[in-house]
Amino acid sequence: MRQPKRKAIEPGVYCRVNAAGDRIPGSSYEISWKDAQRRTQRRGGFATLGDARDALTKAKARRVDRVREPKRVRLTFAATLAQWLAADVARLRPGTQSVYRAAAKHLLPEFGRRRMTAINRAHVRTYIAKQHAAGLAGWTIASHLTVLSSVFRFAIDDLGLPGPSPTTGLRRGDRPERAQGGMRIVNDEELARLLDHAPPGHRLYFAVLAQTGCRKSEALGLVWDDVGEDTLHVAYQRDRRTALRVDLKNSKSAHARRTVVVTTGLIAALREHRMATARKGRFDYVFAGTDYHAVDRAWVKTRDAAGFGKVEHDGRLVVPAMRLHDLRHSHVSSLIAEGWDVARIAGRIGDTIQTVHAVYAHRFDSARYADVERAQLTARYDQIPYEMATREGDRRQQPPAAQVADLTDLQAKRGRAR
């Protein structure tokens, strides 16, 4: 098969063309220049003409400054990914490793055999479009891009790959939409309805999540020694794969280890639960009879029975289904409504102040300015005579009674005159 030819777009910039001399759709731009040692260098994989021009300008600047060219990395994406998994990912928590490896399985069929220098933004945008077409959620695709970006950062920093990463130049519209439903907040009545529909073996577990804002793994990792007189000591989580306790010192958040104040009613329910269980040792799991999969199945049944499943209209998602993690969001929202400051909330849910403020800033602002806004709106708009305006509208639609009487008399006089 005849190979496509190169066509000069401008001095030093080329593209691949077909037999008719037209640029092949989807092909990358290439550049050619003389380095500081007067050797001809070529490099391709530029998605746009602007990227090729910028790279050529930098290459010429290196020649003027007598800087040696960066090392040409000929590794494929699959080989670079394997090195990254062995060097960086192996030091992470088992749960994080499983997430990254799952994303890598999606990336390998698309990028595995390509050279790192040949992957450009057009390839990344094509991958995003394919994953959307396959029905993957925005957050899932975003996790794939996180792994892709990490592999390129590893190659640039440790293997001498000339940057930048193809994920850094993505436009806002190119990136996957992460807000696939957002958070749903439940009030006290809705929470009571959820707990009423919960299976007996999981009702107390859901109540702990709702009152403490714990993550699912943290509540599963509680042992009876963590239950105090009026507190819960959150220091471990249960690993998804091994079902063993993992110290929160090794978690992503350094603030995850904490002591949470709870109500006496919840402590009493936990003690009653302890008396009813077979395992009562200090280091036995509080929720020994459940695991990740059982919790997820119980939650789906509970939220659907309580009326918090997804709502669709004409095949489009109108209201997303409530997630188990939304109990954490609901707890934080209730604390904001009660006037808790950011530091206290962050300490209670085991997050940083920056994260809490970034996720819930709009709710803090709403709670802070609600009274002021209501007073200003009342002073401005409550002076409008709503009832009088309605009567004026009625007058325009119906003539007054006096006018009706005068019209009747006039018609009578005309009749007598005839």
What does 262-289 look like in DSSP terms, one character per residue? --HHHHHHHHHHHHHSS--STTSBTTTT
218 close to 292: Cβ distance less than 8 angstroms: no
Confidence bin at 178 (pLDDT 50/70/90)? low
| Residue type, position 172, single letter | R
101 and 205 within one domain: no
Number of domains in the chain: 4
**Same domain flag for 306 and 193:** yes
Q: Is residue 132 domain-shared with residue 202, that is, in the same domain?
A: no
Give the position of tokens 């595995």.
Answer: 112
**CATH number of the domain encompassing residue 232:** 1.10.443.10
What pLDDT shows up at residue 1? 43
Rounded to whole angstroms, the Cα distance separating 75 from 161 reads 9
Sequential DSSP letters for 123-156: HHHHHHHHHHHTT--HHHHHHHHHHHHHHHHHHH
Are residues 281 and 400 both part of a single domain?
A: no
* Beta-carbon count within 10 A of 288 CB: 13
CA distances from 348 to 23, 301, 351, 358 (A): 59, 29, 8, 16
Q: Measured between alpha carbons, how far is 404 from 358 in angstroms, rounded to an integer?
A: 66
Q: Which domain holds residue 121?
A: 77-158
Mark whether 201 and 321 lie in a shared domain. Answer: yes
Q: Is 362 part of a structural domain of the chain?
A: no
Asked whether residue 128 falls in the same domain as residue 33, the answer is no
Lowest mean pLDDT segment, chosen from 75-84, 96-105, 227-236, 310-319: 310-319
Contacts of residue 404, defined as CB under 8 A and 6 or more positions apart, other chains included, come to: none
- Report whether 15 contacts 23 (CB < 8 A): yes
The reply to whether 125 and 83 lie within a common domain is yes
Residue 84 lies in a domain: yes
pLDDT at 189 over 80: yes
9-39: per-residue pLDDT in tens? 899 998 888 777 777 776 678 888 888 888 8
Strand bridging mode 245-247 / 236-238: antiparallel
Report the predicted TM-score, pTM, of the whole model to 2 decimal places.
Answer: 0.62
Among 336, 352, 372, identify where a domain stops: 336
Instruction: Let me know whether 326 and 197 are in one domain.
Output: yes
Asked whether residue 226 falls in the same domain as residue 138, the answer is: no
Pair (325, 203) in one structural domain: yes
Q: Are 60 and 82 members of one domain? A: no
Instruction: Give the orientation angle of helix 326-337 with respect to helix 353-381, to 10 degrees.
Output: 50
Average pLDDT over residues 379-396: 62
Residue 228 lies in a domain: yes
Q: Rounded to an integer, what distance in angstroms lies between the CA atom of residue 282 and that of residue 369?
A: 47
Domain stop point among 136, 158, 180: 158
393 domain-assigned: yes
CATH number reported for the structural domain that contains residue 135 in this entry: 1.10.150
In a domain, 166, yes or no: no
Amino acid 180: pLDDT: 44
Residue 94 lies in a domain: yes
Q: Determine, yes or no, domain membership for 381.
A: no
Residue 235 lies in a domain: yes
- Is residue 405 classed as helix, strand or coil in its secondary structure? helix
What phi and psi, each to the nearest 5 degrees, are found at residue 145? -65, -30
Predicted confidence at residue 4, as pLDDT, reads 54
What number is the average pLDDT over the span 92-121?
88
Q: Are residues 142 and 246 in the same domain?
A: no
- Given a cut of 80, whether residue 347 has pLDDT beyond it is yes
